[in-house]
């Protein structure tokens, strides 16, 4: 068994050709999707980067591992939940651990663990290749290691190579000499001047007037990245910057596929293409960040080309990314953990059968504190800390009628909100019952003052950005909602 696992940071499905995007961003991946199985309603349980990859690596929800934030106590795995017995069980029941059970040689090419001090992500890998650039590397700096490894090891049996690309991740930094591949392509139709005008009245990190967290200062070394959206030209630069990063990544995936073809092994190599999370590109008024528990932060691509798969099948069922561990365990015929939160969809890959869930609970605690319910045509978002965006406590969106979450229908459909809150509470009860120490890590985040990327910045943001730019009313509302953050 040979497996190439491609993990692209911040890749949202609807900006890929195989998911219906009109721009030619992913020609290489599109061809692989035709050969494999494509999942459309595939979500990370916990966003953003570190909570997401931790859930993938452990097979457990963030509420159980305790790791839901990017800093503070809730950015560490709980010792009490690691099943310690001389060593924890990640050597056997992690993403790499199940490959090791099969006797496969495992190699990870990624800077992720060092970027976030998430060293548990390295568990089970025989070899870790880290170029030391902490996620600032571009695909042309990743591929030399990946191609060298394939040339030296491709003909061997029983290996897995995990390659991590960062190009769609903010700030957008594809080299200028790559050009402007989308300069003649129209923007997505929903991004209009009217929307931009409304969004410029909104507040919060990565909003239209502060794309660069709390600031609108240009980043000279990354000219593709936009720091403020003043007009539609800026909007084009931002969307083109993201899409160009996606295409640049795809070009480098092509180099890996060409190497497999050169060696004559492409047909025998299983290929998985996915992401840790997506990207807000205007949804909920947030730009160039993965900052909420909404569809566009948490919905991720999943394309699997596996020997004997149902070619060209498209699955529209609800799945978590942590469902991948039991799926691979079943496909590889190795031991699964009874403590995982995932459920296998192996026969979806092989036979096209449905293995979806009734609903998904998706969480974000690094930029905001939110838990959301994805069910039927609905997305319900419950906000516990708004990350200074003034989000309503309850938000409800009909994704079929309103795919980009522009109209909160919570007041119009109280019965749907009630249904969602019951699903959320039932999930919470189940998760708490599985813990050795039943403590919700979101309360830890709230007790520390809020999500890492917002905590402690409100007074500065109010005095140095909101008031000087005339958003007095919003500043007053934020001071009323978060009075403890003002000295």
Each residue's pLDDT tens digit, 353-373: 999 999 999 999 999 999 999
Residue 303 has pLDDT above 80, yes or no: yes
Distance, C-alpha 460 to centroid of its chain: 29
For residue 96, is it within any domain? yes
Residue 106 scores a pLDDT above 90:
yes
Question: Is pLDDT of 174 > 90?
Answer: yes
On whether residue 33 sits in a domain, the answer given is: yes
Domain presence at residue 229: yes
Question: pLDDT tens digits for 37-70?
Answer: 999 999 999 999 999 999 999 999 999 999 999 9
CA distances from residue 420 to 65, 103, 440 in whole angstroms, order as listed: 24, 43, 19
Mean per-residue pLDDT, 329-339? 97
Each residue of 387-443: pLDDT tens digit?
999 999 999 999 999 999 999 999 999 999 999 999 999 999 999 999 988 999 999
In a domain, residue 484? The reply is no
Q: Which residues of 118-155 are buried (b: 16+ CB within 10 A; e: fewer)?
A: bebbbbbbeebbbeeeeeebbbeebbebbbebbeeebe
Q: Tell me how far apart the alpha carbons of residues 38 and 351 are, in angstroms, rounded to a whole number.
A: 13
Whether pLDDT at 334 is above 90: yes
Domain contains 10: yes
Q: How far apart are CA 446 and CA 394, in angstroms?
A: 18
Average pLDDT over residues 107-126: 97
Q: What angle do CA 132, 133, 137 make, to 5 degrees?
A: 135
Whether the CB-CB separation of 380 and 396 falls below 8 Å is answered with yes
Cα-flanking dihedrals φ and ψ of residue 101, to 5°? -55, -35
Q: Would you say residue 253 lies in a domain? A: yes
Q: What is the pTM of this model?
A: 0.98
Q: Given strand 359-364, what is the order of strands in its sheet?
A: 46-47, 359-364, 369-375, 378-385, 394-398
- Taking the C-alpha atoms of 357, 8, 110 and 305 in order, what is their torsion angle to the nearest 10 degrees? 70
Tell me which residue has tokens 């932060």. 297
Tell me whether residue 104 is in a domain.
Answer: yes
Domain assignment present for residue 132? The answer is: yes
Average pLDDT over residues 316-330: 98
CATH code of the domain containing 33: 3.40.720.10
Number of domains in the chain: 1
At 261 the pLDDT is 98
For the stretch 237-288, pLDDT in tens is: 999 999 999 999 999 999 999 999 999 999 999 999 999 999 999 999 999 9
Phi, psi of 294 (to 5 degrees): -105, -175
Looking up tokens 């595939």, which residue turns up? 42
Domain region containing 344 = 2-354
Q: Quick one: pLDDT at residue 84?
A: 79
């Amino acid at each position: 068994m040979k497996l190439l696992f491609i993990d692209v940071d911040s890749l949202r499905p609807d900006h890929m050709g195989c998911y219906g995007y009109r721009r030619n961003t992913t020609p290489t991946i599109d061809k692989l999707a035709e050969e494999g199985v494509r999942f459309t309603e595939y979500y990370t349980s916990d966003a953003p980067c570190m909570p997401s990859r931790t859930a993938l690596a452990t097979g457990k929800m963030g509420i159980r591992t305790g790791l839901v934030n990017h800093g503070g106590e809730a950015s560490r795995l709980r010792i009490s939940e690691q099943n310690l017995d001389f060593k924890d069980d990640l050597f056997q029941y992690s993403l790499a651990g199940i490959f090791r059970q099969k006797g496969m040689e495992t190699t990870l090419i990624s800077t992720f663990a060092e970027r976030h001090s998430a060293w548990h992500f390295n568990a089970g890998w025989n070899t870790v290749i880290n170029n030391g650039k902490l996620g600032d590397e571009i695909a042309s700096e990743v591929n030399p290691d990946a191609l060298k490894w394939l040339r030296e090891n491709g003909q061997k049996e029983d290996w897995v190579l995990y390659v991590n690309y960062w190009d769609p991740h903010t700030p957008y930094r594809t080299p200028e000499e790559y050009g402007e591949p989308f300069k003649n392509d129209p923007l997505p139709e929903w991004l209009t001047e009217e929307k931009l005008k409304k969004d410029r009245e909104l507040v919060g990190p990565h909003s239209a007037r502060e794309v660069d967290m709390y600031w609108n200062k240009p980043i000279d070394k990354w000219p593709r990245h936009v720091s403020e959206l003043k007009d539609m030209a800026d909007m084009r630069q931002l969307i083109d910057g993201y899409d160009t990063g996606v295409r640049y990544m795809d070009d480098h995936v092509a180099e890996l596929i060409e190497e497999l073809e050169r060696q004559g092994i492409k047909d025998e190599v299983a290929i998985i293409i996915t992401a840790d999370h997506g990207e807000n590109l205007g949804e909920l008024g947030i730009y160039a960040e993965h900052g909420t528990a909404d569809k566009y932060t948490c919905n991720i691509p999943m394309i699997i080309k596996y020997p004997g798969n149902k070619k060209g099948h498209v699955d529209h069922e609800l799945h978590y990314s942590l469902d991948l561990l039991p799926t691979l365990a079943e496909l590889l015929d190795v031991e699964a953990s009874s403590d995982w939160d995932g459920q296998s969809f192996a026969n979806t890959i092989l036979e096209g059968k449905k293995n979806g869930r009734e609903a998904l609970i998706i969480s974000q605690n690094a930029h905001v504190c939110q838990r959301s319910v994805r069910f039927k045509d609905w997305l319900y978002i419950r906000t516990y800390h708004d990350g200074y965006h003034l989000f309503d406590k309850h938000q409800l969106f009909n994704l079929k009628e309103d795919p980009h979450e522009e109209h909160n229908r919570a007041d119009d459909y109280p019965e749907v909100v009630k249904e969602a809150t019951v699903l959320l509470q039932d999930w919470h009860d189940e998760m708490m019952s599985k813990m050795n120490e039943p403590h919700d890590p979101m309360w830890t985040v709230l007790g520390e003052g809020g999500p890492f990327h917002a905590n402690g910045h409100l007074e500065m943001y109010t005095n140095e950005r909101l008031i000087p730019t005339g958003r007095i009313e919003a500043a007053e509302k934020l001071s009323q909602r978060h009075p403890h953050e003002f000295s």
